[in-house]
């Protein structure tokens, strides 16, 4: 299966920044060269699980999806028990001698590997140079910071190996731009996003009834469609359009009318200038 990786003990962490965990994993598995991994790590601030799935699917030619194997809502006294339960489940997915890519997350995320050695799962973290038993106090200490663990699972064997570094870098450059905008109130960045995506609604409550918007998924950057906004529901959590309803925090909304009107006003200015100049010539 494409999601099973053979690994060795030679971990050489990339010396980048605190959020280069995915690139460390990809480099450790030989998916990316150290040069490419460093280059991409310095291009982005984070990489969510959907991006990992997409990249692995493109690289190996078989669909990848995430499977939830651990879920504990910060119940400190049950962490070790939950880890034991998760290990039993993990052994169904991780063949002996192989490892799978894991994604730990709560509000923030972290990528690592889970390795099956003689029927026991080990947590392998190339970024922090860790190799510890999955069911252990040390792992319990790590999981005190996270709520869930997903693993990346393929739907069959690999049909190719074609890591598209340029495509990944392009997507992550977009992520970095949006992440910075979220973390700061810098007006320059706000103006920059408006310039790049003219008509983008930065505050959801600024959606105007009767206006046509292009709805774009924040994670995948794929367009859900274009439709006319009608109303808000559930205390501004949901936006209702003519063709569908969406959960507001998950989408960008690009005002199609705003772009059209902007072009119209721009064209009108040229028309007005031409008209004025003609009138001036007639009066001379």
* 110 and 233 housed in the same domain: no
Report d(CA 66, CA 68) in Å as an integer.
7
Angle between helices 49-60 and 165-183 (to 10 degrees): 170
For position 208, what pLDDT does the model report?
A: 86
For position 282, what pLDDT does the model report?
A: 43
Domain boundary (125, 151, 169) is at: 169
* 30 and 162 housed in the same domain: yes
For position 236, what pLDDT does the model report?
A: 76
* 165 and 37 housed in the same domain: yes
Range of the domain at 101: 21-169
| Number of structural domains found in the chain | 2
For 127-177, list the strands marked E by DSSP: 130-133, 148-154
3-state helix, strand, coil in the chain (%, to 5): 40, 25, 35
Cα–Cα–Cα angle for 189, 193, 196, rounded to 5 degrees? 135
Q: Looking at the domain assignment, is residue 220 inside a domain?
A: yes
Domain boundary (151, 169, 187) is at: 169
Residues of the chain scoring pLDDT < 50: 45, 174-186, 188-190, 192-194, 196, 259-284
Nearest to 153 by CA among 99, 104, 219: 99
Tens digits of residue pLDDT in 157-187: 999 999 988 888 776 654 444 444 444 444 5
For position 186, what pLDDT does the model report?
A: 47
Q: Looking at the domain assignment, is residue 121 inside a domain?
A: yes
For position 34, what pLDDT does the model report?
A: 85
For position 54, what pLDDT does the model report?
A: 85
- Report how many helices (DSSP H) and strands (DSSP E) the chain contains, helices first: 8, 11
* 165 and 204 housed in the same domain: no
For position 264, what pLDDT does the model report?
A: 44
Q: Confirm if 100 and 152 have CB atoms less than 8 A apart.
A: yes
* 34 and 122 housed in the same domain: yes
Whole-prediction pTM value? 0.61
């Amino acid at each position: 299966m494409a999601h099973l990786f053979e690994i060795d003990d030679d971990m050489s962490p990339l010396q980048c920044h605190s959020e280069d965990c995915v690139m460390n994993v990809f480099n450790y598995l030989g998916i990316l060269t150290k040069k490419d991994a460093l280059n991409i790590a310095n291009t982005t601030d984070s990489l969510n699980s959907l991006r990992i799935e997409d990249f692995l699917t493109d690289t190996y030619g078989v669909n990848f999806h995430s499977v939830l194997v651990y879920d504990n809502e910060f119940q400190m006294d049950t962490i070790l028990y939950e880890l034991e339960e998760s290990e039993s489940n993990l052994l169904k997915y991780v063949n002996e001698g192989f490892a799978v890519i894991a994604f730990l997350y709560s509000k923030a995320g972290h990528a690592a590997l889970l390795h099956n050695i003689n029927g026991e799962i080990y947590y392998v973290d190339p970024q922090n140079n860790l190799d510890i038993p999955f069911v252990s106090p040390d792992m319990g200490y790590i999981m005190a910071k996270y709520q869930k663990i997903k693993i990346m699972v393929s739907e069959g064997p690999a049909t190719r190996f074609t890591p598209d570094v340029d495509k990944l870098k392009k997507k992550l450059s977009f992520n970095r731009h949006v992440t910075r905008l979220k973390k700061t109130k810098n007006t320059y960045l706000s103006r920059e996003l408006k310039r790049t995506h003219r008509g983008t609604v930065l505050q959801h409550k600024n959606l105007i009834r009767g206006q046509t918007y292009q709805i774009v998924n924040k994670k995948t950057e794929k367009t859900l469609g274009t439709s006319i906004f009608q109303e808000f529901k559930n205390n501004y959590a949901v936006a209702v359009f003519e063709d569908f309803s969406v959960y507001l925090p998950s989408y960008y909304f690009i005002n199609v009318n705003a772009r059209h009107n902007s072009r119209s006003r721009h064209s009108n200015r040229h028309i007005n200038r031409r008209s004025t100049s003609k009138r001036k010539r007639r009066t001379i």
